[in-house]
Structure 1
Amino acid sequence: MSTTIIKTNFNFPGQLGVYHGKVREVYTLENDRLLMVATDRLSAFDVVMPKGIPYKGQILNQIATKMMKATEDLVPNWLIATPDPNVAIGVACEPFKVEMVIRGYMSGHAAREYKAGKRKLSGVEMPKGMKENDKFSQPIITPATKAEMGDHDEDISREDIIKRGIVSESEYLQLEDYTRKLFQRGSEIAEKRGLILVDTKYEFGKTKDGRILLIDEIHTPDSSRYFYAEGYEERQRKGEPQKQLSKEFVRQWLISEGFQGLEGQKVPFMSDAYIETVSERYIELYENITGETFVKADVSAIHQRIEKNVLTYLK
């Protein structure tokens, strides 16, 4: 089993604080900068799994970096540098406490809600007579409130976000505009690679001088769902499951083992062999979405590697 990075406890020059999220550790530095370490932790149903996934942090960080660069002409983002395969440094922002979820297809959470008889998601009407994985006539934005560690994100309507003062109306309209532009570009990138960007989420923050920036990760297997374009129509016609690249395969495995993050449920045992397959799936998505061969970073002394690379950059 490869060495994985589960937790960090760095003390960088000019460090002001650290926040341990579900899968990322965020270090606040002087001069309004943030340093984000993408760990190998795996979160599903808002629960962090006991074991890490080899190379997962590197994969997410590198895909997000590529996608930030591929969309920076459309939407300004927080990223300044990536001094290590698992590290991103960028502009410190106050995050908006909503996740901007956008769905081009009726899949995942939307499909589960639909099957349960609901026809509204985050205040948005879902058409009658749809099948799982059908395409919406237009992508729908179904925001969710950002949960603290261990809590579940909750669907919330545009009206409630504005009414509760979570985001002002003018800023929310800006977030929606950015979300649609990013999804359009992400869909075009995916199409060139023979994939369909099914749904995804974006997070935004505000700088001290009032600029709205795209933050966190984008178009990764943790934040997005992809289908293979080839055979999509035929599988829909036959009512077969879609061939997909996303974290959904982990969720489906957990559901089959009787776990959905509900109270009293125990996280099922993940064997080393199963974890290896999860790592391979993440690498598969990296190579499919970027069109590049994944190069595994040296993980023999991963904490020391990160520290050395960051210190070199900060100098």
Structure 2
Amino acid sequence: MIELTAENLSSACLTDAHFPQLPNFERGKVRDSYDLPDGRRVMVATDRQSAFDQVLAAVPFKGQVLTQTARFWFDHTADICPNHVLDYPDPNVVVAKKLKMLPIEMIVRDYLTGSTDTAIWPMYQRGERVVYGNRLPDGLVKNEKLPGTILTPTTKAEQGGHDAPITPKEIVEQGILTQAQWDELAATSLALFARGREIAAANGLVLVDTKYEFGVDGDGRFVIADEIHTPDSSRYWKVDSYADRMAAGQEPESLDKEFLRLWVVGQCDPYKDPIPEIPAETIITFSGKFIQLFETVTGEKFQAPDLSSPVRDRVEASMRKAFPEYF
């Protein structure tokens, strides 16, 4: 694989996937998407890295890691819940069924951790003992395993907004879901997490927590969408060093975006202060963690793109081949 340096960092990144030939363009924090008239949704995972409700940097190969990691997990959870995938025309691209997306995110947690406003550790540290309707005992420490797996749903913010905590009771009272729908969605989320935890553990990893986004298809079924168990939507820690690092009062070894979150929090208050430019060496280390996560989870070797031409050119060629009627 090509060695990343400060000099070739920007050329290794896909930061813009807007192709004006395709209709109904929508830019998210990470993905650039298109809604086709026939009901398909084209999603291009860029290398943009978001945290604290903003884009912080571009991380080489990140979009490919997300797409291919999610592909592994979609394949390994299809017996639990249907997913939105129709095709993978490129390592960074998913063609999916367009769904009616639910206005909440399902977050499942096994550990007391986190650094964002909606994470449970900052809440617990402030003295809160009931989080998202779950009662936690006194005396827990950061990164400790919770007494049991919990669900901590949030509302989905509009672009540039902040996700907000919401309880299952509020979800039903506000008419977002019926009680039966909530029960089904909760059971499905816990089953997906249990599968992820099992496979991660077999590969020397702790699946700490994760976020699921669901939609509803034309038959009224819940369908898992967006991504699943990626290093952008989940926390992963290395099993073999967890106990020793906990005993030493150190953060666990992570293979996810918490590495970058902690770097930012060490420099400023990301919700109040300007975030400083992230050094190239930090970005390169971060990219390596994403690749290591993919390889550890899947058992596959990551195939880095040929950087003799921009990643965007390859993606555009894949789009032309997959959607010739638009190009």
Shared fold (TM-score, shorter chain, > 0.5): yes
Deviation at 1:307, TM superposition (A): 2.0
Q: Is structure 2 residue 214 aligned with structure 1 residue 208?
A: no
Match of 1:21 in 2: 28
Q: Is structure 2 residue 84 aligned with structure 1 residue 78?
A: yes
Match of 1:38 in 2: 45
Counterpart secondary structure, 2:33? strand
Match of 1:189 in 2: 199
CA distance in 2 between counterparts of 1:301 and 1:225 reads 30
Match of 2:321 in 1: 312
Counterpart secondary structure, 1:27? strand
Deviation at 1:75, TM superposition (A): 0.8
CA distance in 1 between counterparts of 2:274 and 2:248 reads 35
Deviation at 1:43, TM superposition (A): 0.5
Q: Is structure 2 residue 251 aligned with structure 1 residue 241?
A: yes
CA distance in 2 between counterparts of 1:158 and 1:204 reads 15
Q: Is structure 2 residue 142 aligned with structure 1 residue 132?
A: yes
CA distance in 2 between counterparts of 1:22 and 1:251 reads 16
Report if the CA contact (8 A) 1:187-1:197 is conserved: yes
5+ long unaligned stretches in structure 1: none
Match of 1:302 in 2: 311
CA distance in 1 between counterparts of 2:204 and 2:322 reads 37
Report if the CA contact (8 A) 1:142-1:156 is conserved: yes
Q: Is structure 2 residue 190 aligned with structure 1 residue 180?
A: yes
Deviation at 1:16, TM superposition (A): 4.0
Provide the aligned length of Structure 1 versus Structure 2: 310
Counterpart secondary structure, 1:104? strand
Deviation at 1:269, TM superposition (A): 1.1
Q: Residue by residue, what CA displacement relative to the aligned partner does 1:199-233 show, whole Å, maximum 9, x if unpaired? A: 00100001133221000111111100011111323
Q: Which amino acid aligns with 1:308?
A: A
CA distance in 2 between counterparts of 1:86 and 1:4 reads 12
CA distance in 2 between counterparts of 1:138 and 1:21 reads 33
Q: Residue by residue, what CA displacement relative to the aligned partner does 1:249-277 show, whole Å, maximum 9, x if unpaired? A: 111100111132x24x1011112222222
CA distance in 2 between counterparts of 1:17 and 1:284 reads 35
Q: Is structure 2 residue 288 aligned with structure 1 residue 283?
A: no
The within-5 A match list for 1:59-208 is 59-108=65-114, 109-208=119-218
Report if the CA contact (8 A) 2:15-2:46 is conserved: yes
CA distance in 1 between counterparts of 2:113 and 2:91 reads 31
Q: Residue by residue, what CA displacement relative to the aligned partner does 1:8-46 show, whole Å, maximum 9, x if unpaired? A: 22145xx44121111111210132111110011111111
5+ long unaligned stretches in structure 2: 1-8
Deviation at 1:125, TM superposition (A): 1.4
Q: Which amino acid aligns with 2:37?
A: E
Inter-CA distance 207–240: structure 2 relative to 1 (3 Å threshold): same
Counterpart secondary structure, 2:58? coil
Moved more, 155-164 or 265-274: 265-274
Deviation at 1:74, TM superposition (A): 1.0
Counterpart secondary structure, 2:44? strand
CA distance in 1 between counterparts of 2:168 and 2:107 reads 12
CA distance in 1 between counterparts of 2:46 and 2:288 reads 17
Counterpart secondary structure, 1:57? helix
Match of 1:10 in 2: 19
| Percent pairwise identity | 39
Deviation at 1:187, TM superposition (A): 0.3
Moved more, 100-109 or 234-243: 234-243
215, 240, 244: which one aligns with 1:230? 240
Counterpart secondary structure, 2:237? strand
CA distance in 2 between counterparts of 1:17 and 1:169 reads 35
Report if the CA contact (8 A) 1:259-1:268 is conserved: no
The within-5 A match list for 1:253-292 is 253-260=263-270, 262-263=271-272, 265-292=273-300
Q: Residue by residue, what CA displacement relative to the aligned partner does 1:169-205 show, whole Å, maximum 9, x if unpaired? A: 2222221111001000000110111001010010000
Deviation at 1:5, TM superposition (A): 1.3
CA distance in 1 between counterparts of 2:256 and 2:283 reads 15
Q: TM-score, normalised by structure 2?
A: 0.90
